[in-house]
Amino acid sequence: MTTKKDDAISSILSDFEEFANLVLYQLDLLEKIISSGEIKIADELSKELLSNEKKIDKLEVKISDKIVNTIVLYQPVASDIRKIFACFRIVNSLERIGDMVITIHNHIQNIKAPKIYTELNDAITNMIINSSNMVNKALLAFTNDDREYAIWTIKNDTVVEETNKKMLKKAVKKSTDNDENKQLLMSFISMNGIVTNIERIAGHATNIAEAAIYSIEGKDIRHKPLD
């Protein structure tokens, strides 16, 4: 027989699953946009992204309120507290990832020199695929209590960072050509915004993985070297 506390925690995790799947879907849509290599985004895709972002914001508030109420009303045991608190940390990271998806979408629309975007599109596509995979693995680490997925995610963060550095060097080289103009400069700024936000998505995936380890083992490994 389940208790009210069990029902409350189950409700949190059910909303969390919906929330996480929606953020992952947003990443899938963004990957679709980037991999197309086009700076003109279909209106229906833009509308869907923006509509989903509103749903994400509402779910974030709903889950946060449920977490607070559950802790106050039912005083869960330590293991449940770890799970709930880890969930709270992950929700915050996922909400930020959702914001970054919209920011990247806006940067793409601000690009004025399509040639640069086309030349660097393979690198950007690889970055968003890697970052999305990190988020997915980190969420699986939490939902399945899988420490190995969490460790993989944390270690893979350096891959995205290195890709970012290489791409920025290539972009800087392009921006110093003799035909540099205002549109080129503005496009470089937008490209920098795109790759920086993709890197931040990977960083939040690491935060999610660290929260998963906290949920599994009760250890806070933030700012600590891995074993």
Residue 126 is predicted with a pLDDT of: 86
- Whether residue 100 is predicted with pLDDT greater than 70 in this model: the reply is yes
Predicted model pTM: 0.85
Domain assignment of residue 224, yes or no? no
Domain with 83 in it = 4-217
Domain assignment of residue 225, yes or no? no
Average pLDDT over residues 36-49: 93
Domain assignment of residue 68, yes or no? yes
Average pLDDT over residues 219-223: 72
> H helices within the chain, ranges in order?
4-35, 43-74, 78-109, 114-143, 147-175, 182-217
Domain assignment of residue 226, yes or no? no
d(CA 135, CA 201): 8
- Whether residue 180 is predicted with pLDDT greater than 60 in this model: the reply is no
> Taking the CB of residue 94, how many other CB atoms lie within 10 A of it?
28
Average pLDDT over residues 85-113: 93
Domain assignment of residue 206, yes or no? yes
Residue 32 is predicted with a pLDDT of: 95
d(CA 150, CA 213): 7
Q: How many domains does the chain have?
A: 1
In this prediction, residue 97 has a pLDDT band, given cuts at 50, 70 and 90, of very high
DSSP result, 182-211: HHHHHHHHHHHHHHHHHHHHHHHHHHHHHH
CATH of the domain at 145: 1.20.58.220
- Whether residue 123 is predicted with pLDDT greater than 90 in this model: the reply is no
Average predicted confidence (pLDDT) for the chain: 86
